[in-house]
A and B are shown apart, each in its own frame.
Chain A
């Protein structure tokens, strides 16, 4: 069996900050995120031979991390995310029309998104992946990613009461907000 090269190890080390950021985005919990990153590194090490040098290591690692996350969720019977956090988030959200949107409010809003939408908007809007790469990481069609990103964005706007960014006018948003509490 081929040994893990020094370069691979260095690249793994270099990927850790991104992996942790993605893991926190998925789990919304710092401790769970670090456990997830640890699992990911062990898995990546074990199957390093299946990585093709020259391809995107970060995408490969994100795929492993994501698979690990969902398989853990399935094992645990999909436990509900930290309900205290969600409660705080709901209380913390204010209308953002005047002045800067608070990062804490944004975090709270992000937390309320379904996992599939949250991961899609993170991969595209923050991790710097293309729609094609994100589709590969999530094992779905490019169109699915596009629609998840679009729904995630609309939902965030709705939660944060941001208006004027696109086709949703203030009226459309308040109409959605009043009807969305049970969602």
Chain B
């Protein structure tokens, strides 16, 4: 069923171009769904976490 997609699939864009490209309703919705998630505001806790990790750095040890 997926044979026809291998033809131009070496480029990243083409990987989703056939089955999930702009001509596909599923493909469009998938990108809309995901883009909405990506553009969500990032809570401060993550920047704080990285700063904490950075400060703890010299003593860093894995259990």
Contact = CB atoms under 8 A, between A and B. Distances in A.
Interface residues of A, number: 48
A28 to B, nearest CB: 11
Contact of B25 (A4, A9, A128, A165): A165
A157 B32 CA distance: 16
Most chain A beta-carbon neighbours within 10 Å: one of B15, B24, B39, B60? B15
Nearest to A132: B15
B37 to A, nearest CB: 4
A46 B47 contact: no
Given A16-B42, A21-B37, A150-B1, A125 B60 contact: no
A5 to B, nearest CB: 11
Contacts of B54: 4, 9
A20 B20 contact: no
Most chain B beta-carbon neighbours within 10 Å: one of A125, A149, A166? A125
Contacts of A110: 33
Nearest to A156: B26
B2 A129 contact: no
- For the residues of B in contact with A, the DSSP-based class is helix
Contact of A126 (B25, B30, B45): B30
- For the residues of A in contact with B, the DSSP-based class is helix
Interface stretch (A62-70, A71-79, A100-108, A172-180): A100-108
A135 B36 CA distance: 25
A9 B45 CA distance: 15
A121 B20 contact: yes
Given A46-B60, A146-B2, A126 B33 contact: yes
A124 B24 contact: no
Contacts of B39: 17
Contact of A130 (B2, B12, B24): B12
Nearest to B30: A125
Nearest to B9: A131
Contact of A157 (B26, B43, B57, B60): B26
A182 interface: no
Interface of B: 1-2, 5, 9, 12, 15-16, 19-20, 24-27, 29-40, 42-43, 45-47, 49-50, 53-54, 57, 60, 62
9 contacts: A9-B54, A20-B37, A34-B45, A38-B49, A46-B62, A101-B25, A125-B16, A128-B12, A149-B2
